[in-house]
Structure 1
């Protein structure tokens, strides 16, 4: 039993993650145009038409921009919780009721050998949630778009093989940047986004013997840089003697270029 995945796109401009395992394939979020989603799938040698389903985290446009187009074009099943479905209603265009499936927060759905577990996060959306993919003792955690990582979340996501983990902003860059103060307050709040430093502190609490890879995700285009995020997270984890660089490794994600398909 194996899982493969690719972070197709991650950042302020759009988010999408592909996972496949034992003949099933899944997409978490479709935050780019339908055309761009087709290009991303082609670049990893996969087809959107083969997906077993699309799983939505929340209704913000950088997570659902292409959802309606893909749903209509490929007749795919779409999974989201009830509040997110209501919030998306006017944003996606018409999606046939036969394609709409409810996946409530803090529940598990099974697809063949794959168990997909949903969990709530703290973000200014209707009912934001992310996902943990389990298969054969392997565990892939997706966690972005949260203002903080609570003890409850940490308990659920601990000791995963792979994390796709939010490292949204550098606090200094954000404070000095061009955003209006109201936007800065929102990002820094408990329903905003996790900073590089706070991401590293949370990672230190959840990494375990199984952990091999952490992908730094959802970097702000204005308030972060790949090199800065990796340096900040690495330094803090080194201070905690967490095993970065030998027990596990950090990887970049990109808003336009998929990460290579990786085996878990």
Structure 2
């Protein structure tokens, strides 16, 4: 491995399953494994990577679209798994038995160092027991993962400010959700403070946190039923332009997909 490398691929993002791949000079890490082991193996193959080369899985929260393949991959490839204590308690019955030496506590608000990368955890507002997301730091560069949150507090905005790249939630178009087929209780959950960021909300968060280092924003966790890639991309682009950011040139807006891995991107 090249010791200077810091590569990212959004393997899958969406309501049907989420998985992020982070690669540095010494580490190959998944954040969440919300699809089957077979599916994740196929997504890794799309970027010419193999699951047997992975070192660890970080878990954000216990919802199935984030943990479906955690147990299978951990057992098959002897991977270390990191989550906070409450998330471990919630997901333990759902992922099957993992050897105790592979299970690690990663407390919310702390920083974990794995090899040559520092990983900062921060809590978010979502309807899970103790949801936390991550910012990766290496050689004065950083990548932020922020999905599955109903709102973004000033505290979180301060933590994630001026990263080199973001995976930012653009879960739904508010109008599509309101007129869609979901039960009213589900709509209320998604729209609430412990639900998901809409296209507009995610774009407004982006205008607050991006800085002169920021080169790329991935639009993540799009709803199959209540969003369109084109709509999410247009909302982010227009909102950034309205706030005097040069979206498309200074900052590249990137779509993600639940079935197709994003090409590896070097920070």
Using the size of structure 2 for normalisation, the TM-score is: 0.97
**Other-structure match for 1:112:** 115
Gaps of 5+ in 1: none
* Mapped partners of 2:102, 2:202: distance in 1: 35
CA contact (8 A) 2:26 2:116 kept: no
CA deviations over 1:97-153 (Å, ceiling 9, x no partner): 111000010100112221011110100001000110000000000000000111000
CA contact (8 A) 1:2 1:135 kept: no
Give secondary structure in 1 for the equivalent of 2:94.
coil
Using the size of structure 1 for normalisation, the TM-score is: 0.99
**Other-structure match for 1:207:** 210
Q: Aligned pair count?
A: 264
Moved over 2 A (4+): none
CA deviations over 1:208-245 (Å, ceiling 9, x no partner): 00000000000000000100100111111111112212
Is 1:146 matched with 2:145?
no
**Other-structure match for 1:180:** 183
CA contact (8 A) 2:148 2:195 kept: yes
**Other-structure match for 2:173:** 170
CA contact (8 A) 1:144 1:218 kept: yes
Is 1:10 matched with 2:13?
yes
Give secondary structure in 2 for the equivalent of 1:232.
helix
**Other-structure match for 1:73:** 76
Is 1:22 matched with 2:63?
no
Give secondary structure in 2 for the equivalent of 1:91.
helix
TM-align CA RMSD? 0.7
**Other-structure match for 2:55:** 52
The alpha-carbon deviation at position 23 of structure 1 amounts to 2.4
Give secondary structure in 1 for the equivalent of 2:95.
coil
CA contact (8 A) 2:8 2:265 kept: yes
Give secondary structure in 2 for the equivalent of 1:36.
helix
